[in-house]
Amino acid sequence: MSDTTGIADISDISDTSRIEGIAASLPTPNLDTDQIMPKQFLRGIDKTGLDQGLLYDLRHDADHRLRPDFVLNQPAYQGASIIVAGSNFGCGSSREHAVWGLQQFGIRAVIAPSFGEIFYSNAMNNRLLLVMLPETDVQRIIEDVSDPLASKVLIDVNSMTVRSRSVEAAFSLSARHRRMFLEGLDVIGATLSLQDEINAFQQQHWQRRPWLHDIAHATRARINASSPATPSGNR
């Protein structure tokens, strides 16, 4: 047990059921998705480069220079993998880019008293772990990680606990989200894991309702067969 962190030496933990590392505090409540990922970073046609836009207006001043006093710009919090946030984190518009930006920046989990509903679904479906704890516990963790010597936090999804220097608290997840995290699945992977059941349902569906099979293709073929040919000059 480390005297400086209050938890085990997490640098050696590689169990995929755990997230461990430096935690940075963002205690501002109602931090919305436009602040997390400003709109000017949504113009790309792919997901790349979103780490540059993460919390841009908080990380940079009006001249686009890094603010040295912002927590994620401070040397002690470089490589942070966990954010400890204020209530209603991720409120506002549905903006999956906010989730992707956090992940590209290296954030693997966010701890907060509450989250925006759509952001919560987007995050968990992309395996960004969101942990809800009572506000008193979150505040104590914020106080812990505000000391760079006690900035390490451990989240254990097997035991469903969060540990910092002075806090050991239990959290809950839905069975589906817990399974997705433990098995390394995003929402598409979780669906594909049910492929056998999906195939069986499909076969039963066509057996019970054979008239529906390929109905769109059959309808289009009948329409084409009954329509007069269009002269090539009128196309």
In tens, the pLDDT along 142-199 reads 999 999 999 999 999 999 999 999 999 999 999 989 988 888 877 776 666 677 887 8
Q: 154 by DSSP, 3-state: which?
A: strand
- What are the residues whose beta carbons fall under 8 Å from the beta carbon of 203, sequence distance 6 or more? none
Distance CA 167, CA 137 (A): 7
Question: For position 170, what pLDDT does the model report?
Answer: 98
Q: What is the largest CA-CA distance in the chain?
A: 86
CB 82 within 8 A of CB 7: no
221 HSE (CA, 13 A, CB side): 5
Look at residue 51 and give its three-state secondary structure.
Answer: helix
- Where, residue-wise, is CATH 3.20.19.10 in the chain? 10-185
Q: Would you call 69 exposed, middle or buried from its count of C-beta atoms within 10 A (0-12, 13-18, 19+)?
A: exposed
Beta bridge partners of 112: 132
Give the pLDDT score at 191: 67
- Rg for the chain (alpha carbons), in Å? 24
What whole-number distance in Å separates Cα of residue 231 and Cα of residue 39? 49
Question: Does domain 10-185 bear CATH number 3.30.1340.30?
Answer: no
Is the model's pLDDT at 75 over the cut of 90?
yes
pLDDT digits (tens, 9 = 90+) for 132-157: 999 999 999 999 999 999 999 999 99
